[in-house]
Structure 1
């Protein structure tokens, strides 16, 4: 696993030991950023189920100003901390040891994000509820993109204030890209 492109491109990232996380593969990560970017001119990114922190780190490497990396597992937080150290730019990252729900409650109204990654454990997917919480908490900048990584069995209802702009499957993994149309 590595940072694919940008300022930190080519640097290797650690994986979380065990099977409680499922890191996004380099192939999927590269395809994702080709769809949504591939580069950015500033902004904030939230990686809500960060695991290794790879998606948020990649976004900062490609031009986002700042990333908030949230995970509930202590082992993941240790790996994220080490992976952020690889960038040699730790001030551009905030690492939060918390559940997604607790973070959203605590951070409501304090910060807005231009890009949000949602890659929860496949068995515990609550993508639509999380998207609605982000909007209700006023944590999304106008036009923000939300990328959900799920298994291919997920279907999405119409979500007010959001459009589902693209869905792409890679084996058992599917990426869904939502655009925030509120405010």
Structure 2
């Protein structure tokens, strides 16, 4: 695993030993960022079920201002910390070793708006995609934001999360990447 592009391009990232996590491959990561925009001008990323942090670190390398990482597994969290330190992103990251549901409850209480949301839970835990709906319903995703969900082929995600419509789906082996963007016109008042 490595950082694919941006200011830390080529930086190797440590992976997690064992089968408790399933890192997004470099090929899939590169495809995701080609879909959502190769480079960013600021913004806040949320890497939910972060594992070794590949997606959030990639967002930072490509221009995001800040990334929030949530990972419950102890070994994965340790690798995540090492990767962030190695990439010298300590000052622009928040790391939470907690369950995703608890992390979302905490984010809902904060004055924060997310620009990039990456959701990649264990494939057999489809209920975690409901956390996306909670973020959208509570206006925690910017109207210009992007939501990326990685999931198994057997999991069918909704066509929309509020104003965020499914705009693209790509299949990579057993994995599917679903991308959502807000379809509301800029300046439109939603009542």
Give me the TM-score of the superposition, normalised by structure 2: 0.91
Partner of 2:53: 53
SS in 1 for 2:57: helix
- Residues 119 and 129 in structure 2, CA contact (< 8 A), matched pair in contact too: no
SS in 2 for 1:122: coil
Shift of 1:125: 1.7
Shift of 1:31: 0.9
Deviations 1:151-182 (A, max 9, x none): 11222334332200000001111100011346
RMSD: 1.4
Alignment of 1:144-163 (within 5 A): 144-159=145-160, 160-163=162-165
Shift of 1:76: 1.1
Partner of 1:114: 115
Change (3 A) 1:72 1:114: same
Unaligned runs of 5+ in 1: none
Partner of 2:187: none
Deviations 1:65-107 (A, max 9, x none): 0000101111111000000011123101111111110011112
Alignment of 1:59-98 (within 5 A): 59-98=59-98
Partner of 1:22: 22
Shift of 1:129: 1.2
- Residues 114 and 144 in structure 1, CA contact (< 8 A), matched pair in contact too: yes
User: Partners of 2:66 and 2:85 in 1: how far apart?
Assistant: 14
Shift of 1:128: 4.2
Unaligned runs of 5+ in 2: 185-189
User: Partners of 1:18 and 1:105 in 2: how far apart?
Assistant: 29
Size of the alignment, in residue pairs? 183
Is 1:135 matched with 2:136? yes
User: Partners of 1:139 and 1:98 in 2: how far apart?
Assistant: 19
User: Partners of 2:52 and 2:76 in 1: how far apart?
Assistant: 6
Give me the TM-score of the superposition, normalised by structure 1: 0.95
Shift of 1:12: 0.6
